[in-house]
Amino acid sequence: MPSFLSSRIDASAQASSAADWLALGLDQALEDALPELIQLRRHLHRHPELSGHEHQTAALVAGELRRLGWEVREGVGCTGVVAELGPAQAPVVALRVDLDALPVEERTGLPYASTVQGLMHACGHDLHTTLGLGVARLLAPLAGDLRARVRLLFQPAEETAQGARWMLADGAMEGVQALFGVHGFPSLAVGTIGVRSGSLTAAAGELEVEVIGEGGHGARPHQSTDAIWIAARVVSGLQEAISRRLDALHPVVVSFGRIEGGKAFNVIADHVRLLGTVRCLDPEVHALLPGWIEDTVVALCRGHGGEARVRYREIAPPVHNDPALTALVEGAARDLLGPGQVLRLEQPSLGAEDFAQLLSAAPGTMFRLGLAGPDGCTPLHSNTFALDEGALAVGLKVLTLSLLRWMEAGGLPAPEARR
């Protein structure tokens, strides 16, 4: 049997589910590593760093990886860290985790709560970083047997959707044939994961609209062009246009989160600025949206006597999960956790994830890791967000076995044929 680790897996062990995992002693290795990994994650939780400023986190990650014998590059895409293990000429399989925290004041009351005022790991990236280091630890003793080169990407600035672009520009995805990723998911119970083939998250953009009118006296609006009235028409008119002019089978969400304009209660405003976000699942619809929004907004403003300036900035394209790699993760997770613990997510999310940028360089898949303990789990980005640490072992198992099985399949994206 052409197994990448055939010397370490006997034939009888191959017959049982997750045999490769057990035969390699990974269960024991995980058990041995867990107490330290939990402490590590708590340390990261105590010391969150803002997007693009993950200096201490990156230094800790790089030091730990070097200690484990990985080849490490620091400063890849700002504060990103890239580590490699395995034969130099072999196909490259990658795992991406993220490093950054959020400008949120923690209110969990946990003994290992953030010690940095106004900053918190409220999206669980401390868990993701620990997962990356955990995989590094489990694979390190197998270095001589690996049939692929494993690359770990510790990415900065996910929350600002900049880090993936930075790392991509710095060559972090060069030569990568398959990419795996993970994000914690508060609405799934710990011990379970969610997978989805195809679209997982939405394309996201930032929309800025400037409405330009002409100021005047509040008593005589007919002698001016009221930018506040026109801005109100833009806010409601855009929603109406979406429902009447775009295909409802391809949902588009536009939400304005900020509006500023006007100086006094009795003065007609000559200028209003609107800031919003745009979400969309279909890449083709998303490609048309900036032009369509601009045309619609300009027409609305001109129809009421004003002018408009529209700017659209793409934040992230949609995450599209490769079907074969998703099936590989699903198979590994079913064997490790039991079939009932692996859920196929019916719906994608309109949230955004800059993992999508990395997928422009290689096929990949991201799965959702259950975080909810017996009492549930508060939402991501909330100041009381607290995950069940049992998720660490679950994520580590699924990620490590997925990487090993990708190698065992010879790097071929055809797990179904192999199993």
Interface residues toward Zn ion, by CB under 5 A:
123
Question: From CA 147, how far away is CA 136, in angstroms rounded?
Answer: 16
Sign of the torsion angle spanned by Cα atoms 278, 282, 287, 291: negative
Closest CB 69 distance from Zn ion, rounded Å: 29
Closer by beta carbon to Zn ion, 159 or else 226: 159
Residues 6+ apart with CB under 8 A from 150: 84, 85, 86, 92, 93, 94, 95, 139, 403
The C-alpha atoms of residue 186 and residue 180 are separated, in whole angstroms, by 20
Q: How far apart are CA 295 and CA 293, in angstroms?
A: 6
Kindly report the number of other CB atoms within 10 A of residue 342's CB atom.
Answer: 21
Least distance between Zn ion and beta carbon 341 (Å): 22
317: helix, coil or strand? Answer: coil
Q: Which is nearer to Zn ion, 72 or 123 (CB)?
A: 123
Nearest residue (beta carbon) to Zn ion: 123
Residue number with CB closer to Zn ion (85 or 391): 391
Tell me whether residue 100 or residue 210 sits nearer to Zn ion (CB atom). Answer: 100
* Residue 121 C-beta: closest distance to Zn ion, Å: 10
Question: Residue 123 or 332: which CB sits closer to Zn ion?
Answer: 123
CB of 352 to Zn ion, least distance (A): 9
> How would DSSP label each residue in 233-280?
HHHHHHHHHHHHHS-TTS-EEEEEEEEEE-S-TTEE-SEEEEEEEEEE
**Cβ at position 272, least distance to Zn ion in Å:** 30
Q: Looking at residue 160, what DSSP letter applies?
A: T
- Per-residue tokens: 285: 């619809």
- If you write DSSP's letter for every residue of 94-106 in order, what string do you get? EEEEE--BBS---
Tokens (6 digits) for 268: 């007609």
Considering beta carbons, is residue 128 or 151 the nearer one to Zn ion? 128
**165: helix, strand or coil:** helix
Min dist. Cβ of residue 275 to Zn ion (A): 19
Q: How far is the CB of 128 from Zn ion (least distance, A)?
A: 8
HSE-CB of 284 using CA atoms within 13 angstroms: 4
**Residue that is written with structure tokens 């006094």 in the block:** 264
CB of 242 to Zn ion, least distance (A): 26
* 123 vs 387 by CB, closer to Zn ion: 123
CB-nearer residue toward Zn ion: 97 or 135? 97
Q: What is the DSSP string of 52-104?
A: T--HHHHHHHHHHHHHTT-EEEE-TTTT-EEEEES-TTS-EEEEEEE--BBS-
